[in-house]
Amino acid sequence: MTQALAVLRSVFGYTAFRHPQDAIVERVIAGGDALVLMPTGGGKSLCYQIPSLVREGCGVVISPLIALMQDQVAALHQVGVRAAFLNSTLTLDEARSIEQALLQGELDLLYLAPERLKSERTLALLARTRLALFAIDEAHCVSQWGHDFRADYLELGVLQRLFPAVPRIALTATADVRTRQEIIERLALQDAEQFIAGFDRPNLCYRIMLKDNPRQQLLRFLRGRPAGEAGIVYCLSRQKTEETARWLCEEGFKALPYHAGLDARLRATHQARFLREDGLVMVATIAFGMGIDKPDVRFVAHLDMPKTIEAYYQETGRAGRDGEPAGTLLLYGLQDVIKLREMLAASEGSDEHKRAEQQRLNAMLGLCEITTCRRQVLLRYFGEELPAPCGNCDTCLEPVATWDGTEAARMALSAVYRSGQRFGVNHLVDLLRGESSDKILQFEHQHLSVFGIGRALDGARWRSVFRQLVARNFLTVDLERFGALRLVEHTCRPLLRGETVVALRQDDKPKPAKGRSGGRGTLPGSASDLDPVLWEALRDCRRQLAEEQQVPPYVIMHNRTLEDVCRLKPTTLYGFADIGGIGERRCEEYGPAFVAVIRRLTLAGGG
C-alpha cells in the first residue's frame, strides 16, 4: 500500500484514498478477486488503475463502449500512464503496433470490448503477456436481470479458467441482490470479496411528476435552471427523441438526438460534441449514456418512465458525477406502465424473467407514487437504509398533499368488479361519472349499480385514483385484454371490507413555464465564493488546452479541481502542484498556462 499511495499522489495528485478504495486496492494488489459496487462518480476506476500500475504486468480492462475506452485512455495519457485500447476504430497497422507494445511490456493498461476479448486471437495474445489483473467494468451487463444486458459479457467466465492466477475485479454502480448473484455466478467470482460502498448520491435532487403537458413541464424545468448547462433528456422511442431534440432547438436550446437508429458516424459525432462542448442537451434513448464519463452533466430528465429502478438510478446517476448539485426530472403516467407492460409481454424472456421484470416495474411505479422521501425508498430498494428524510427530493422540499381516498378507492374497485374486470380506465371513469358513452350503452352498463356513483369527482381525479391503485397493487393491468384492469384479491379484500383506509396523493396542475434564466450561469452551484472573472478565464484556458489536445475539457482538469485552482489562486508551480487532483504530469504540462492566467488577473489587479 505504500507504493499504491505513492502512485496515487504522484500520478493522480491525491493524498489519500476514499473509503473503501484503500481496501479494494489492497485486496487486488495482493492477488485477490473483488466485486465492487460504488455509486457513479465514486472513484471506481482508481480501484483497478492503481493496482495495474503497482503489480507487474499490464492490466486488462473490459469496457462495453468504444467512446468510454477512448476517453479513459486519453485521460490516462494526460497523467503519464501508458494506456491503449484495441477496438474497431484502429487500422490494422495501429492494432499490430499496440499488440507489439503489449508483448514487449510497454503498456500499463489495455482496454478491450468483450467481443474482442472472446476471440481466439486476443486470448492467444493475452496468454503470451504478463498480466497484472482483469477489470470488468459495467459488470451488471453480464446479468440477464440487469438493465443493460450484453450477451458478450456471458463469455467472460472464461477468464477464470484460462488465467486462474490473474486477479479479477468486477465493478458496477447499479446491481440489486439478484443481479449481484448472477454476476458472481457468470464470472466465477464465488471467492471474491464484496465491497458495497453505498448507493446514495446526496448531490442529486430527485423530482418526479405526473405527466400533464410534458413538453411544458420539461420547459419549466429547464428554464428554471441556469443557462448554459449540459444535460440529458431520455425518451422511450427513437421518433420521440428526434421530435424532442428539434423542439428544444426551436425553444432556444442547443440539443442533439441520439439513438441506435442513427448512422454510427453521426452518433459518434453527437457524442463527441456532448463531451467537448458546454451547454449541450443530448436527447436520447437508453442507447446513450452507459459509461459516459462527463463529470459536469447538471441535469437528467425522463419524458417517459424507465422500466426499473436500476435503470432510473443508473440514468439519473449520469448527472453530477463531479459531486456538485444536479437536478433530475421524471414525468410518468399510467400509459407508460401499459406501454412498458406490453413491451414486456411481447419479449422473448421466460415466464420467470417476465414475472421478475413485472415486479421491478411495479417497484418503479411505486417510487413514482409515494408521498414520503423518494431517496429513502430508492436506497431501501438496494438494501440501504437512510435514517431520516433526505431534504433534497421533491416530496421533502414540497411535502405532498394527500386526501382520504378510501371511499373513492372502494367505488373504483367496485366498478372494476361489477363491469367484469374487462375494461380500461377511460370506460371505468365514464361508468363512475354516469356518462352515456357509446361503449356504456353497448354493454348496457348504465344499469349497473355503480353507474354514476362517482359524479362528485371529475375525470382527471378518477384517473389519478385508478393510477394510484395500480401503483399500490390493488389493481393490475391485464395486457391480454388490451389494458383492462383486474382486482388483486389479497390486497383489495381488506379495503372493500372496511378494514383499511387509503390516503391518496393530491395531483396539482403544474405552473406554466417561466422565461429562460438570464446570465451565463457557469459558476458551479456550490462555489458562489469564486471570482467569476477568474473562473471564466480558467475555463477558457482549459478549453484552449483541450482543443489543442483534441480531448474533452474535463480530461485536462475536472471542475472540482479547477474550482480549487480558482479559489486558492496559486501563482507558482509549487503552489499549483499542491492542489488535489494535480499530479506530476499535469503540473508539468498545464501548470504554466494556468499559473500565467492567475498571475495576469490577480497580481495585476492586486487580488
Nearest to 571, CA basis, from 607, 544, 542: 607
Amino acid code (one letter) for 240? K
Q: 512: buried, middle or exposed (CB in 10 Å: 19+, 13-18, 0-12)?
A: exposed
SS3 454: coil
* Spatial distance between the Cα atoms of 419 and 222, rounded to a whole number of angstroms: 44
Q: 338 and 466 share a domain? A: no
One domain, residues 164 and 231: no
CB 585 within 8 A of CB 573: no
Within a domain: 520: no
CA dist., res. 70 & res. 417, Å (int): 58
Question: How many structural domains is the chain composed of?
Answer: 4
In the listed set 196, 213, 232, which residue is the last one of a domain according to the structure?
196
The answer as to whether 34 is a domain residue is yes
Same domain, 212 and 332: yes
Residues 46 and 188 in one domain: yes
> pLDDT value at position 479?
56
Q: How far apart are CA 417 and CA 485, in angstroms?
A: 9
CA 168 to chain centre: 25
- Reduced to 3 states (helix: H, G, I; strand: E, B; else coil), residue 384 is coil
CATH number at residue 443: 1.10.10.10
Among 139, 161, 196, the domain boundary falls at: 196
In this structure, how many other beta carbons lie within 10 angstroms of the beta carbon of residue 19?
11
| Structural domain for 381, as ranges | 204-390
CA atoms of 209 and 527, how far apart (whole Å): 29
pLDDT under 70 in the chain at which residues? Answer: 144-148, 287-292, 479-483, 508-528, 603-607
529, burial (CB in 10 Å: exposed 0-12, middle 13-18, buried 19+) = exposed
Q: Which residues pair with 475 in a beta bridge?
A: 487
Residue 369 lies in a domain: yes
CATH of the domain at 557: 1.10.150.80
pLDDT for res 600: 85
Is 91 found in the same domain as 150? Answer: yes
Please give the sequence-ordered ranges of beta strands (E in DSSP) within 137-198, or none if there are none: 168-172, 193-196
My answer on whether 178 and 143 are in the same domain is yes
Position 481 scores a pLDDT of 64
> Three-state SS for 330?
strand
Helix residue ranges, H only, 251-383 = 264-276, 309-316, 334-346, 351-369, 374-381
Joined together, the cell numbers standing for residue 435 give 356518462
Judged by phi (left if over 0) then psi (alpha if -120 to 50, else beta), residue 198 lies in left
CA distance 116 to 375: 39
Same-domain check for residues 220 and 326: yes
Q: Distance between CA atoms of 100 and 196, rounded to whole angstroms?
A: 38
Residue 426 burial by CB count (10 A; 0-12/13-18/19+): exposed, middle or buried? Answer: middle
How many whole angstroms separate alpha carbon 592 and alpha carbon 596?
Answer: 6
Q: Which three cell numbers stand for residue 378?
A: 430508492
Q: Are residues 134 and 63 in the same domain?
A: yes
Residues 190 and 230 in one domain: no
Whether residue 81 is found in the same domain as residue 119: yes
Question: Maximum distance among all alpha carbons in the chain?
Answer: 87
Claim to verify: residue 163 and residue 40 sit in the same structural domain: yes
Question: 58 and 159 share a domain?
Answer: yes
